[in-house]
Amino acid sequence: MNESESQFSLARVESSARQRAQQQILIRSIGSSRFVVALCLLLVAASTNLAVAQNASQMFLRIAGPSTSFIEGGSPYSGLLLWSNAVPGLAYRLQTRADLGTAGKWSNYRVFHAAGVQMSVNMFAPDDNLVTAQVPAGAFQMGDSLGDGFANERPVHTVNLGALQVDRFEVYWALWSEVRTWGLAKGYDFDGAGSAVDNLAPVTAISWYDCVKWCNARSEKTGLPPVYYLTSDRTNVYRSGHVDISPDCVAWDKGGYRLPTEAEWERLARGGAEGYRFPWTNVLTIAHTQANYWSRTNEAYDLGPTRGCDPIFQGDPSPVGTFAPNGYGVYDTAGNVWEWCWDWFSQTYYATSPTDNPKGPATGSARVARGDSYYNAGFYARCAYRNFWAPTSRFGDFGLRCVRTIP
């Protein structure tokens, strides 16, 4: 990689009085042909509080993203990190490395949505507005309005939905692992550990049942009420086994983490727009500059100049937030990995779907998944496309995204 230094500055960070040691942050901004980063060396010889250092004597940090950003300062104790020249509305990744030698390697650590040009973030506990988006209450037209999908995507029908807080990013490996480990210690069980190619790549190889239980564990870990219960009186939290819980066993209005309904997913994927094939609204076509998917010649709207898998990610999921977000500031709703939804699947459900907050059929044999993956064609990345599989399935391109009801 051909890198060039574009800025140098020095900032001093004082340690806590209890530890009585001075810390230095050496700041550089680095550019490259692939991306631009801001580089920061934390000398933490006296620190035991910097989680990313893992008791190392030093830790390099950098911000990788779509613009040349500048790290302005920070603290290894509070976790505060300041950087400037961000592009509002796009994603940036915090990366770590123990050394800059040939044996070293950058590792993705956190991902943030830039809310402004000047950014102040907590490296250890990101603020909600940097990792979640608000989808307002309202109505939208659900289904295939362009007529290039399957019959089960029609008729197009009006759906009214309540307001949601939505994960901007698909659940990535570092978050999944942290919550799963906590859950196992609190009596939760899971079919498997899940899988990922990177700390910030979406977790995959997880069943629908594991996703639902993980949502409950995430809620409890963060002090929120769990959403899924074994009985309609909602007193027995769903933590283990394969249980096909019914809608009346779900505390929809309690504000804990949960899977979106199929209707909620399509609305958040469309980003507030209607009448478009994909989450973006500037064109009705798709290419590898917009999503991680499998390009082919079957569809005229697939303009990928390189057919097959994404030429950069080579048949693997990409780190979350790699591509531009939609109108709601939500990333990767086309391609990367399929996202499990709450609903049972029915070929004819749209013909009888309720208008207000539909939650799918009462029973079924397969659960809905939406959004396409790195392994599937652009045809399946359309916002209206409906996928479905047995809830026990643990495919290498299936993941999840969480939502929360806003009262």
> Which structural domains are found in the chain, ordered by start?
4-126 (no CATH), 132-407 (3.90.1580.10)
First to last CA, the chain: 49
pLDDT of residue 99: 79
| Partners of 23 in the β-ladder | 13
For residue range 261-318, list pLDDT tens digits in order: 999 999 999 999 999 999 999 999 999 999 999 999 999 999 999 999 999 999 999 9
Token pair listed for 381: 């990345």
For residue range 23-44, list pLDDT tens digits in order: 333 333 333 323 344 445 443 3
**Alpha carbon distance 287, 307 (integer Å):** 10
**88: pLDDT confidence band, cut at 50, 70 and 90?**
very high
CA-based Rg of the chain, rounded to a whole angstrom?
Answer: 22
**Alpha carbon distance 281, 33 (integer Å):** 28
pLDDT of residue 127: 67
Q: Return the axis-axis angle of helices 173-185 and 208-221, rounded to nearest 10°.
A: 80
pLDDT of residue 195: 97
For residue range 325-381, list pLDDT tens digits in order: 999 999 999 999 999 999 999 999 999 999 999 999 999 999 999 999 999 999 999
For residue range 92-141, list pLDDT tens digits in order: 999 888 877 777 788 999 999 999 999 998 888 776 778 999 999 999 99
pLDDT of residue 233: 96
Q: Is the peptide bond before 361 cis (omega within 30 degrees of 0)?
A: no
